[in-house]
Each structure stands twice: as structure tokens, then as C-alpha cells.
Homo-oligomer: A and B are copies of this chain.
Amino acid sequence: MTPNITAAKTALSHLDVEENPHAIRTASRDFFWYSPVLKARMDHLLADFVVRPRNEAEVIEILKVCYEHDVPVTTRGAGTGNYGQAMPMRGGCVMHLVYMNQVTSCEPGRVVVQPGCLLKDLDAHCIAHCGHELRMFSSTWATATVGGFVAGGSGGVGSVTWGQLRDLGNIIRLRVVTMEAEPRVLEFRGEELARVSHAYGTNGIITELELPLAPAYDWVHCFVATKDFAAAMDCAEGLANEDGVLLKIASVYEAPVAKSYFQRVSPHVAEDDALVGLMVAPQSMDALVTFLTRRPELSLIYRSDDTDWPRNPGLVFEYGWNHTTLRALKFDPSITYLQVRYAYPDHNALIEKMRATFPGEVLQHLEAIRVNGKVSFAGLSLVKFTTEERLDEIIRIHEDAGAQIFNPHRYTLEEGGRQHSDQRQLSFKKEADPKGLLNPGKMISFDTPDWDYAKIYDYPSMTPKEA
């Protein structure tokens, strides 16, 4: 099955096809370089051409033509994914959804939108038109698309209240195009949503999303400092458990993350200060102050609605989730990270144990999240990278202690997830992408069903480095 690139390009030449090599290279890359492991393996990957559909009809046409000519199609939102999700593993076509960015309709509680809309633009539209906003978004809100978030992300800012994208009710409907001789257009709701959400575009292209909205508030961005890491955890978790207090994010940073990596916060904290980042609805600010007054070990050092900091630190969520790693990387390029899940109710003890295990090597960064109605922590620990072996060892020590790892140094769905195949995604891929052309190499169970996860998966058909 050799792709006929030339034939596909010719057939699509009336569309917006990009052939400039520099632009193709840019559109072939995402934030994979966050991971030294992925950087070593994926840096050379390159699409043959990029095409930018203007509407669903053009998406269908591209998929049909590429199917006919056996050309792989890797869909791109904004390319902010950090596991190489949007990178063409064996060349072919990158389909860039930048033009499909319209909000179709919005009302309190609900929006219908095209996949290429930036999260930031979507929020602005909804706030202006119906006083509501997205329940949750990735911290790449300013640059990422809503389609990329649902296809490639999992949750983030807002998950402290709403749980994660995969939870019932956080996606209402997805419209999906398949890659067959005659592409089909399907509408998924309820149980079917799991087929294509967080499937990296391996089994269908999302052309429209219907999402629930939450009321928009003029969130107050806050920082709380404390000398005591346990008190910082207790602050984030305690507030998240205050049912009457509206939060959008509650992040915890071990010392000296704030001093070392948060440039505009640094003048206001000491080396030994742990930090809590919060977004609180204005009508909950009194409650926040009351909560803090009960805990004298915590000090509110910043609130965006009343501050004398000479330099605005910006949006608190741009310190949280994966942005923490980004900020740390700027100061120390040897830093990478882990994604950890500390499950309720033993999360705090487990975190303290991990904290004690890797002094100087792993720094705790936690995000309070709701999982099945209980508040616990997701960890996006900062790791001082030395070797792949040591990184794997750190992961193993976490797993042995009972912490679940979602490995961000892997490009497959399975390895970045729970290390086993998702039968719903797999069986839909067999049906919707019979030639295996959609974002190839990202679903192990499709390519190598008997894989045993003993070591890192190397996609056999990946474009070789020399190429």
C-alpha cells in the first residue's frame, strides 16, 4: 500500500494546499519536544503536504481522495499537543483545521462549534453572546483548538469542579467523518462519544462539537503562599471540597518552583515558599478570605481584583497544568515532567511519600481535580532529566507505590493512557478507517494487537530517521 502523494495532491489542488517546505515542517510538529524521549524519536517527521479545508464538505473530499490514493491523514488543530499526537508518523497529508473555526450557535448551558475554533475565541464568543463559558479547557486556552482539546486532551482548568472530558455530561455531541471509500458523517452522543474523544483523530475527524457551558464569572486570580507543603495541599483540597465556593483551578507548587520558575511571582515569595494558584468566582471571595483566616499558616499574597504588584502576573492558569513545565523549561532545559494520578482517599500520603523519595530530582506540582465526585490530585511533577533509564525507573517507583502514571513520553494512545487497548476506539477504527490511514502509529492495538508493553513502542512503519 504505497501512498500516491502526487495523485492526491493533484486531486486536491483546487483546495488550500500548502507546499512551502518551511510551512510544511511547522505544520508537522507539535510540543513533542517537551519530552526528551519523544524528541529523540520524532524530530525528523514531516508531512508531504498540508491542506486546509474550509468546511465539512472539503474534509470529506480530502478523506475520500486520500483514501483512494492510500495517503495517511494526520489532523491538526493548533499542534499544542505534547505527545507528538499531531505529528505525521509516516508522512502523507496533514489536514489543518484552522479555517473551520465558527461558533454555530450558543445559549446558556450549551454551544455548537466547529473544531478549529480556538478555546479562547470560543470563550469570548460565548461570554459575549450568552454569559456562559467553557466548563473546562487546557491551559493552552490561548492557542489550542476545541477540536484538538477533545481529540487530544483530557481536562485541565475547570476539572477541579467538572471532572474530566471523559466524564458523563462534559461532551454532548460530536459530529464525525470517517475515512472510507465513501466517507460517512456520523453523530455521536452518550456512550458513543467515547469512540472518538481522546482518540487522537485515529478513527474519525470531528467536524462539529456540542459542549455544555458553565456560567461565566469574572474570575479572581489568586496566589497563596505557605512555608508548609502539606498546608498548601490542604488549602487546594479543602477549598475544592467547599461546596459553596466556586473554583476554576487549584494548583499546588512545591518550593522552590515559585521562586525559581515563576518570574513575576518570584519577587513576592521566598525560596522555601510553597504556592497555591487559584481562580475564584468574585461572589466566593469573601468565603475564600474566611477560609484562609481559619488557617494562619496560609497567606493570600495576590488577588487580581486588589493588588499592588508592580508587574501583572497574568492568568493563574497559565502557571498551572502543563504550563508549569513550560515555565520551568525556560529556566532549566534539563527539566521534563510526569503525569501522575494520586487516587482518593490515600492521595496525600502517597504524594508525601513520592516527595520524600526523589529529593532534588522530582518537584511536586499538583492540580486538584474531581474524580467520581471526590477531590484528589493529578500530579504534573517536574523531573530533572538525566537518562531515559532513570526516567523509566522513576515511573516504576511511582507505579510500585500505587500512583498511576499517564506516561507523557510516549506517542501512542495506550502508553499515554492505561496501557491497554480501548475496545470502543479500536472497533470503531476498524470500521471507520479500514486502511489504517488516520494518524497512523498512534493506536498500538490496531497495528500490533499482541504488544506486551514491556518496553517503549516503536511504530514499525514510522518514517525512518534517515529519510
Residues of chain A having any CB pair with chain B under 8 Å: 108-110, 131-132, 135, 161-163, 167-170, 172-173, 189-191, 212-217, 240-246, 281-284, 286-287, 289-291, 293-294, 370-375
How many copies the complex holds: the figure is 2
Structural contact, A190 and B373, CB atoms closer than 8 A: no
Q: Which residue of chain B is the closest to A214 with respect to CB atoms?
A: B215
Q: Which residue of chain B is the closest to A290 with respect to CB atoms?
A: B190
* Given A244-B162, A370-B243, A169 and B287 contact (CB-CB distance below 8 Å): yes
Chain B residues near A169 (CB-CB < 8 A): 242, 244-246, 283-284, 286-287
Q: Which residue of chain B is the closest to A107 with respect to CB atoms?
A: B283
Chain B residues near A172 (CB-CB < 8 A): 283, 286
Structural contact, B212 and A244, CB atoms closer than 8 A: yes
Q: How far apart sit A281 and B135, CA to CA, in the bound complex (Å)?
A: 14
Chain B residues near A284 (CB-CB < 8 A): 169, 212
Structural contact, A162 and B214, CB atoms closer than 8 A: no
Q: How far apart sit A246 and B212, CA to CA, in the bound complex (Å)?
A: 10
Chain B residues near A108 (CB-CB < 8 A): 131, 215-217
CB distance from A51 to the nearest CB of B (A): 33
Q: How far apart sit A291 and B372, CA to CA, in the bound complex (Å)?
A: 13
Structural contact, A244 and B170, CB atoms closer than 8 A: yes
Chain B residues near A135 (CB-CB < 8 A): 244
CB distance from A321 to the nearest CB of B (A): 17
Structural contact, A291 and B168, CB atoms closer than 8 A: yes
Q: Which residue of chain B is the closest to A374 with respect to CB atoms?
A: B374
A-B residue pairs in contact (CB < 8 Å), sample of 8: A109-B282, A163-B242, A167-B243, A168-B245, A169-B244, A169-B284, A190-B290, A212-B283
Contacts A163-B243, A169-B286 supplied; 9 other A-B pairs, CB < 8 Å: A173-B286, A190-B287, A190-B290, A214-B215, A215-B215, A241-B374, A243-B372, A243-B373, A373-B374
Structural contact, A167 and B215, CB atoms closer than 8 A: no
Pick the residue among B132, B168, B281 that contacts A242 (CB under 8 A).
Answer: B168
Chain B residues near A241 (CB-CB < 8 A): 372-374
Q: How far apart sit A110 and B283, CA to CA, in the bound complex (Å)?
A: 7
Chain B residues near A243 (CB-CB < 8 A): 161-163, 167, 370-373
